[in-house]
Structure 1
């Protein structure tokens, strides 16, 4: 692929995403010159294609799938001149909620003449020395166990609600932790949830970090202390409704970098994908790339 042959907009379609319909997508692209579709075979293939299109001079590379697809494409585009677009075709589509995008193929309209804003990414360091970039949320505890607890049948039957049902069923484990915020002495406690957020939503519409801002160069850390399943269930319902900023079970920190020590095998969901590696450090890579936002995009109050 050369600069002359590169499309203006490249859509990287995960054909396994729940809302993927290649025929319907092709039909919607009729009359859009300079657009191209490539089907991905895996997350690594999506990243490879994104790098190739960016190097060839493509203006907008669109992750068409769920939050995992978005993460792979965003990581590949970081530091390039290509902007990231999102076509939310997965089950949860949490990152697209923060971007103010409509569901499914209706998000194409926001990509015709996109409004681009700078997007921070989370640079995650693991205990084994490996690293990763995230666009949305690193979600640990019962919320992280959701990815392991949900079956394909539950996703098909319940959609985004399956995440909430699985979270309640996985809320028994408690994790002692030590959290270092921007080099300060450790804050210690016990949690059933530890979430490190760049954006606001996770778990199929739970607004875990209502004050998180993808443009501010900061991350939000949210911990949820142990409580009965009934109280945690009520909190989850409030989070899904977007009504929680202050709550006696919730503690929040804002930082540029955090270091974390956790006792026990804390299950993590990284942008919706289960990961067994232990997180030790997360820092913000401010303005790592540009992202196309939708008509309902709003920064949190005060930004």
Structure 2
């Protein structure tokens, strides 16, 4: 197996370097040819992934958080190079969705366990989302997990302004930023066009286009989302002020939002979002401009290693007959 290991040394606590060496040793003993490349700045993971595709690598192992993985898929999309997830970030939501162990305070590295799960996993074609900034017409960006619009993106934008705080506090940095943003955040009037059908305008504090069920690590925001169903699950949370945001946070936590009249949910191939004033946008926990935006699904655009720990509900198609998995050699 020829592979590249893309390591973001700044992800999470930033102390995974020694564990990376152990992981590479494990793979070498199994006959793998692995090249380790470190990212230095934003966008490096995408460039390194493209180089891996051009070099004929069969797998790209990405050691980082959801943002690093989100960057890497920009270079992997449409190729036969499979993505293997090695969680070393702050949120690690994709790894959680796949049932993989994630770093926790006062816990030793989970990378050895993660590698064993990848070795026992199966490569599957999954969908990607693609978001285009409609105002600038810039080249779109793929996402594997979700695209968020509104208050969650505002929180993400603020957290990224203080990377040292994020490294020291982890998820706590998002909580502090949320408390600060809530004080002055207000929703706005939004018009949606869902698969060509115009939806009556309403005020909104948050919208999320999901490719999977989990959001922010523990919120089951899109219970019907599947990675390979050719659709995105779009949730629009209506309201205007801070108390509307808190209300929606509570009903999501209690899993009562699906039938709430103040929440609109759609399953679609394309959604256009136009807002009365620009709202911030994030993709896989990385800031990405502001509205207006067009979001669409790109079916079967990425090969992802699905570990045996992944719940069956994340896919429409079963992994193999009678649950038998194909081991990656």
Normalising by structure 1, we get a TM-score of 0.88
Q: What does residue 181 of structure 2 align with? A: 170
Aligned 8 A contact 1:202 1:272 in 2: no
Q: Distance in 1 between matches of 2:60 and 2:99?
A: 18
Match of 1:129 among 125, 130, 137: 137
Give the SS at the match of 1:178: strand
| CA–CA separation in structure 1 for the residues paired with 2:255 and 2:173 | 18
Q: Tell me the equivalent position of 1:18.
A: 12
**Residue number in structure 2 paired with 1:38:** 37
Alignment match, 2:23: 28
1:168 and 1:232 in contact (8 A); partners too: no
- Match runs of 1:118-267 below 5 Å: 118-126=125-133, 127-130=135-138, 131-150=140-159, 151-152=162-163, 154-156=165-167, 158-171=169-182, 172-226=185-239, 229=242, 232-233=245-246, 235-240=248-253, 244-267=257-280
**Whole-Å Cα distance in 2 between the matches of residues 109 and 296 of structure 1?**
11
Aligned residues: 297
Instruction: Provide the rounded CA distance (Å) in 2 between the counterparts of 1:13 and 1:301.
Output: 26
Aligned partners of 1:137 and 1:163: how far apart in 2? 17
Distance (Å, rounded) in 2 between the aligned partners of 1:225 and 1:15: 39
1:71 maps to 70
Alpha-carbon distance in structure 2 between the residues aligned to 1:155 and 1:216: 34
On the 8 A contact 2:194/2:271 being kept in 1, the answer is: yes
Distance verdict in 2 for CA 1:129–1:224, change over 3 Å: same
> Matched residue of 1:232: which SS?
helix
- Report how far residue 299 of structure 1 moved: 4.6
| Structure 1, unpaired ranges of 5+ | 1-6
Cα deviation 1:150-187 (Å, max 9, x = unaligned): 34465345422443453354243112111011111233
Other structure's SS at 1:58 match: coil
> Aligned-residue CA RMSD in angstroms?
2.4
Provide closer, same or farther for how the CA distance between residues 302 and 245 of structure 1 changes in structure 2, counting only shifts above 3 A.
Answer: farther
Pair 1:108–1:223, CA change in 2 (3 A): same
Greater shift, 137-146 or 24-33, is seen at 24-33
State the Cα deviation string for residues 217-265 of structure 1 (Å, max 9, x = none).
Answer: 1001111112664563354255356565333432211101111111112
Instruction: Answer 1 or 2: which has greater helix percent.
Output: 2
Residue among 112, 118, 140 paired with 1:111: 118
1:271 Cα deviation from its structure 2 partner: 1.0
Question: Which secondary structure does the structure 2 equivalent of 1:216 belong to?
Answer: coil
Distance, in Å, in 1 between the alignment partners of 2:254 and 2:36 is 35
* Deviation, structure 1 residue 281: 1.0
Q: Match of 1:283?
A: 296
Instruction: Report if the CA contact (8 A) 1:120-1:198 is conserved.
Output: yes
Alignment partner, residue 60 of structure 1: 59
| 1:114 CA displacement | 2.4
